[in-house]
Homo-oligomer: A and B are copies of this chain.
Amino acid sequence: MKYSTQLLGISNAIVDILTHVEPEFIADMGATVGAMNLIDEQRAETIYRSMGPATEMSGGSVANTVAGFANLGGDAAYIGHVHDDQLGKIFNHDMRSLGVDIRLQPASTGAPTARSFILITPDAQRTMNTYLGSCTELAVADITDKTVGIPKVILLEGYVWDIPEGPALARKTMEMAAEIGATVALSLSDAFCVERHHASFMDAVVNGAYIVIADENEINALMQTENFDESIAKLHAFDNMFVMTRSAEGSVIAQGETRIVQAAMPVEKLVDTTGAGDAYSAGFLYGWANDWQLEECARLGTHCATRVIQQLGARIEPGLIESYKQIDAG
């Protein structure tokens, strides 16, 4: 089988606006700490007006993973919806500069490019307030033979279910993947998102998404359990491969009877946990797309996550695979 691309990401294209705040600020804004809070345009204005100076960087969970995958040297493409404005240009530039093939043109009408205000508290936790804007206009009609091509892996994120045509376009993507022999990976995004769309996610896991990427809270939400051990026990009933990150406790890959446990790597200085899971996915999928052994996939994922949490923002400077080879040789 000859694939035209290793990885195709389909997700919400977002520019992150990062700032440091005290915990009281988040309480005042009525946001849920550590979660992704969906906000409308008016709320976005209020938060922006109230917050301090910020730094802008391209973001979006699956988009971060696609960027990381390309940064590692992987061959990647992306479907996401931006407006033809300055933030949309920034988003596309950052993808293209890593070699990612952008499959949709920016829209000249409709809402402005999406932004997420990422409020970082002194404990390096981040609370996201996302105005979806142009993302909400991603449509079933954007998923075509031409925009999809023949990728080895198609990566979807749970957040796509938050946009009007999201569930339908995810379904269409999974059907197309089955036809062309692509593997679908689904990143569960966050535990609240899993709760919002539980039945639909479960259907996707059983009927289409072979690889399931989740953190501990997300897998517990999907399995409707109270703790990780209970979740792990329930996974036996599924044919999928589950890739699960557990912060300082490392990560676990579960597939059938196989269990691979990868410890976390040392962190000199924790700066900002934004993008840790996305970076892990980039490393893991890069290994997987290149037919590495699962242990090595988990190890590269861990390296990527370890690097991203020691800097501000969700995307890592180019040169990721070189730094991995260094630790591997060391």
Complex: A281 Cα to B318 Cα, angstroms = 33
Chain B, Cβ-Cβ closest to A269: B269
CB distance from A325 to the nearest CB of B (A): 18
| Inter-chain contacts of A58 with B (CB < 8 A) | 53
- Complex contact A56–B53 (CB within 8 A): no
Q: Give the number of residues in A that approach B within 8 Å (Cβ atoms).
A: 26
CB distance from A184 to the nearest CB of B (A): 27
CB distance from A102 to the nearest CB of B (A): 13
List which A280-320 residues lie within 8 A (CB) of chain B. 312-313, 315, 317-318
| Inter-chain contacts of A54 with B (CB < 8 A) | 57, 90, 93-94, 97
- Complex contact A318–B56 (CB within 8 A): no
Chain B, Cβ-Cβ closest to A85: B86
- A164 proximal to B (CB < 8 A): no
Bitwise, A35-78 to B at CB < 8 A (1) or not (0) is 00000000000001101111111100000000100000000000
Q: Would you give 8 A-B contacts (Cβ < 8 Å), ordered by A?
A: A51-B97, A53-B58, A53-B318, A54-B57, A55-B56, A55-B57, A56-B57, A86-B86
Give the B-binding residues of A (Cβ under 8 A).
Answer: 20, 48-49, 51-58, 67, 85-87, 90, 93-94, 97-98, 112, 312-313, 315, 317-318
